[in-house]
């Protein structure tokens, strides 16, 4: 699962091209990164728009998200559950997830 | 739940019988047809994400009820932390925001040869691919004397709805000094930590309102999900209330008598004030009727697409599916639904489906301010869905109050987010 292409801008454009006007901004292609990242949305809300007490990703920059995820994986950042989850992914996968959420509509 | 109790409950909460939400954004749906059976975490998420990934799809969701009451957080309703409305999920946003056609009707038959679904309301729905997400049903009489009628006296409350209300009323009506029995089944079953969260919250209720009472867990197993963490919390808070009796110490309930209110193991007979019997389970009835289940009572599926290995063009997700290491939880169902939605779109395009990447994260409340969790990430290994090694697992033992409180707060945040992600 390492080394898949990470092209958030292109992917977003593709998603927009497919979507009818009414749904622009919510639709996107179901590629490998989307499937991997969308698994996070159960806790963090669709597109990272958390509606409750879970941290939201909307408005966060990719680099900021990457650092947090790397630190969860290494244990440098204190966590309740994210340390356990981040360890399951490679650094490349965490970066792709961060790019994905940073590219989603705010 | 009987059809009668469902109907009377619908009448009670004022939900209409037949209802369809077939307008909205669905006008632009000219692509292949996907029918989704069941509007729980699995079915609702699948319908929403199918439209999200490909708005041209023609997606129809059919559920027997006008709304879905979630099992997650139903234990908080039992003890008065939340009301029934808190766990009620409506389907209207799936239609108005995502363009899913929604029908309230019970699917009674599936014909894989002609790709048609039939309902109790006399409707037929044609599909190109079908997603079956029916949750669970019960093995009546697996425990001698525990049939559907007995469940109206000794509630399972393992499908949220009228059973939840019944168990709550019984807890409120029981005397101070009464005995509560919770009888969890052997594996596999829906929501593995659920019975123990329930025991915890009920013990908290008894401690506050009926402190002379006892709670006995008569278990068909010798170990359970998050067991060390639950026991740590019980010792701190409910030591004089909860007693857990494992199968090895003859905890397994073998017989009940709904008439005289007794519950029996091989060696003992109890007469609890409240008996919560959680019987062994199978995939939801429609999956059995349609021939999607194997001898285990659950449904074998391809681990990347969730397509049934017994019927082409039919996918089974959620509690009904045999999904390797993934537990039967709402989060699992919702995560599987996204993978399944993406796979179906790939299959429509004639592409190779993507490899599964899925998560389960599940919180349990040992008390309203004391949460614990389990998490895992999954991939397919050797043809089976497996947890990724050296990751996941449960909350640490011996954590301080702040840590447990934080996880209790996250439990609520989890619930709000997953409900949004699945139904809105």
Chain A neighbors of B413, CB-CB under 8 A: 43, 50, 52-54
Chain segment B99-152, per-residue pLDDT in tens: 999 999 999 999 999 999 999 999 999 999 999 999 999 999 999 999 999 999
Q: Which residues contact B408 (CB under 8 A, 6 or more apart)?
A: B363, B365, B367, B368, B369, B370, B371
Q: Name every chain A residue with its beta carbon within 8 A of the beta carbon of B99.
A: 22-23
Would you tell me which residues 318-357 of chain B have a C-beta closer than 8 angstroms to some C-beta of chain A?
Answer: 331, 334-335, 338-339, 341-342, 345-346, 354-355, 357
pLDDT, tens digit (0-9, with 9 covering 90-100), for B371-403: 999 999 999 999 999 999 999 999 999 999 999
Nearest CA-CA distance, residue B342 and chain A, Å: 5
Which of A26, A27, A31, A35 is the best substitution to test chain B (most B C-beta atoms within 10 A)? A35
Query: What is the structure's pLDDT at A27?
Result: 59
Q: Please tell me the number of Cα atoms within 13 Å of B200 on its side-chain side.
A: 27
In this predicted model, what pLDDT tens digit does every residue of B293-305 receive, in sequence order? 999 999 999 999 9
A59, part of any domain: yes
pLDDT at B210 (0 to 100): 98
Assign A13 a pLDDT band (cuts: 50, 70, 90): very low
For B:264-293, CB contacts with A below 8 A are none
Taking only the tens place, the pLDDT of each residue in B307-334 is 999 999 999 999 999 999 999 999 999 9
**For residue B21, what pLDDT is reported?**
64
Give the tens place of pLDDT for each residue, B44-75. Answer: 999 999 999 999 999 999 999 999 999 999 99
* Helical ranges in B238-358 per DSSP H: 285-289, 330-348
Q: CB contact, 8 Å: A16 with chain B?
A: no
Q: Is A65 in contact with A102 (CB distance < 8 Å)? A: yes
Sheet holding B262-264, edge to edge: B255-257, B262-264, B269-270
Subunit contact B342:A89, Cβ cutoff 8 A:
no
Answer whether A51 sits within 8 Å of B49, measured CB to CB. no
- Cβ neighbors of B164 (< 8 A, separation 6 or more) are B69, B74, B77, B78, B84, B87, B157
- Which residues of chain B make contact with A34, given a CB cutoff of 8 A? 53, 342
Whether A81 sits inside 8 A of B49 (CB atoms) is: no
- Reported as a single tens digit per residue, the pLDDT across A29-88 is 789 999 999 999 999 999 999 999 999 987 799 999 999 999 999 999 999 999 999 999
List, in sequence order, every residue forming a beta bridge with A28; answer none if it has no partner.
none
- Is A3 part of a structural domain of the chain? no
The alpha-carbon gap from B26 to the nearest alpha carbon of chain A, in Å, equals 11
Q: Quick: pLDDT tens for B174-199.
A: 999 999 999 999 999 999 999 999 99
First to last CA, chain B: 27
Where is A35: in which H helix or E strand? helix A32-38
Query: What is the per-residue burial (b if ≥16 Cβ within 10 Å, else e) of B263-298?
Result: bbbeeeebebbbbbbbbbbbbbbbbbebebbeeebb
List the single best residue of B334, B349, B407, B413 to mutate versus A (max A Cβ within 10 A): B413
Q: B399 CA to chain A: closest CA distance, Å?
A: 10
Question: What are the sequence ranges of the domains in chain B?
Answer: 3-137+282-353, 144-279
Closest-approach residue (CA) in chain A for B397: A80
Taking the Cβ of residue A91 and every Cβ of chain B, the question of whether any pair is shorter than 8 Å is answered with: no
Most A CBs within 10 A among B421, B422, B423, hence the mutation to make, goes to B421
DSSP string for B305-339: T-BBSSSTTEEE-GGGEE-TT--S-HHHHHHHHHH
Is residue A53 less than 8 Å (CB to CB) from chain B?
Answer: yes
How far is CA A56 from each of CA A65, B362, B413, rounded to the nearest angstrom? Answer: 11, 18, 11
Total domains in the fold of chain A: 1
Q: Is A52 part of any domain?
A: yes
Nearest CB to B55 within list A27, A36, A80: A27
Q: Per the domain annotation, does A29 fall within a domain?
A: yes
Higher-pLDDT residue of A17, B280: B280
CATH number of the domain that residue A15 is part of = 1.10.760.10
Residue A71: give the domain boundaries.
Answer: 8-103
The total of other beta-carbon atoms located within 10 Å of residue A9's CB is 9
Put simply, the answer to whether B421 touches A39 (Cβ < 8 Å) is no
CATH number of B3-137+282-353: 3.50.50.60
Residue A4 has pLDDT above 80, yes or no: no
pLDDT > 90? residue A26: no
User: Does some domain include residue A1?
Assistant: no
Q: Is the dihedral of CA B244, B250, B252, B258 positive or negative?
A: negative
B361 touching chain A per CB within 8 A: yes
Q: Is residue A95 in some structural domain?
A: yes
What is the interface size between A and B, counted as CB pairs within 8 Å?
136
Inter-chain touch A39–B406, beta carbons under 8 Å = no
- CB B410 to CB A80 under 8 A? yes
pLDDT band at residue B20 under the 50/70/90 scheme: low
Residue A105 is predicted with a pLDDT of 77
Tell me if domain B3-137+282-353 and domain B144-279 are identical in fold.
yes
Instruction: Name the residue in chain B with its Cα closest to that of A73.
Output: B391
Measured between CB atoms, does B52 come within 8 Å of chain A? yes
Give the long-range contacts of residues B203-206, CB within 8 A, separation 24 or more: B203/B234, B203/B237, B203/B238, B203/B241, B203/B242, B204/B79, B204/B237, B204/B238, B204/B367, B204/B368, B205/B78, B205/B79, B205/B80, B205/B171, B206/B180, B206/B241
What's the whole-number mean pLDDT along residues B347-360? 97
Structural tokens at position B137:
């049903």
Chain A nearest-CA distance from B87, in A, is 15
Instruction: Give the fold, CATH level 3, of B144-279.
Output: FAD/NAD(P)-binding domain (3.50.50)
Angstrom distance (rounded) from CA B3 to CA B139:
17
Residue A92 distance to chain B (closest CA, Å): 15
């Amino acid at each position: 699962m390492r080394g898949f292409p990470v092209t958030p801008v292109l992917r977003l454009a593709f998603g927009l091209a497919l979507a009818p006007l009414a749904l622009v901004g919510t639709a996107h292609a179901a590629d490998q990164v989307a499937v991997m990242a969308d698994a996070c949305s159960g806790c963090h809300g669709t597109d990272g728009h958390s509606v409750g007490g879970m941290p939201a990703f909307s408005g966060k920059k990719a680099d900021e998200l990457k650092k947090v995820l790397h630190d969860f994986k290494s244990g440098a950042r204190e966590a309740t559950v994210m340390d356990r989850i981040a360890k399951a992914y490679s650094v490349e996968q965490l970066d792709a997830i961060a790019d994905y959420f940073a590219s989603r509509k705010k | 739940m009987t059809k009668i109790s469902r109907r009377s409950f619908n009448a009670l909460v004022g939900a209409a019988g037949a209802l369809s939400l077939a307008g909205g954004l669905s006008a632009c749906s000219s692509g292949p047809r996907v029918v989704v059976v069941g509007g729980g975490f699995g079915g609702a998420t699948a319908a929403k994400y199918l439209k999200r990934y490909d708005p041209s799809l023609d997606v129809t969701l059919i559920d027997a009820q006008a709304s879905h009451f979630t099992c997650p957080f139903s234990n908080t309703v039992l003890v008065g932390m939340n009301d029934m409305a808190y766990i009620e999920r409506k389907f209207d946003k799936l239609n108005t925001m995502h363009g899913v056609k929604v029908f309230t009707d019970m699917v009674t038959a599936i014909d894989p040869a002609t790709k048609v679904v039939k309902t109790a309301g006399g409707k037929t729905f044609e599909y190109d691919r079908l997603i079956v997400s029916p949750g669970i049903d019960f093995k009546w009489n697996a425990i001698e004397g525990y049939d559907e009628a007995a469940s109206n006296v000794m509630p399972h409350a393992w499908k949220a709805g009228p059973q939840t209300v019944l168990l709550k009323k019984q807890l409120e009506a029981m005397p101070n000094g009464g005995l509560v029995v919770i009888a969890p089944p052997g594996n596999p079953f829906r929501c593995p930590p659920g019975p123990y969260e329930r025991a915890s919250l009920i013990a908290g209720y008894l401690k506050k309102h009926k402190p002379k009472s006892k709670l006995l867990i008569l278990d068909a197993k010798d170990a359970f999900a998050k067991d060390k963490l639950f026991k740590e919390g019980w010792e701190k808070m409910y030591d004089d209330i909860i007693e857990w009796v494992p199968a090895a110490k003859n905890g397994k309930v073998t017989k009940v008598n709904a008439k005289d209110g007794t519950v029996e193991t091989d060696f003992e007979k109890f007469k609890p004030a409240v008996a919560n019997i959680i019987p062994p389970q199978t995939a939801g009835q429609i999956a059995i009727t349609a021939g999607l289940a194997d001898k285990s009572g659950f449904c074998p599926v391809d681990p990347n697409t969730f397509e049934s290995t017994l019927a082409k063009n039919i996918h089974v997700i959620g509690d009904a599916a045999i999904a390797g290491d993934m537990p039967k939880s709402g989060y699992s169902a919702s995560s599987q639904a996204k993978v399944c939605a993406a796979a179906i779109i790939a299959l429509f395009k004639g592409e190779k489906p993507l490899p599964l990447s899925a998560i389960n994260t599940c919180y349990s409340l040992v008390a309203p301010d004391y949460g614990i969790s389990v998490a895992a990430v999954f991939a397919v290994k050797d043809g089976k869905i497996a947890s990724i090694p050296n990751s996941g697992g449960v909350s640490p033992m011996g954590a301080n109050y702040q840590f447990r409180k934080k996880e209790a707060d996250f439990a609520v945040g989890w619930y709000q987010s997953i409900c949004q992600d699945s139904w809105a």
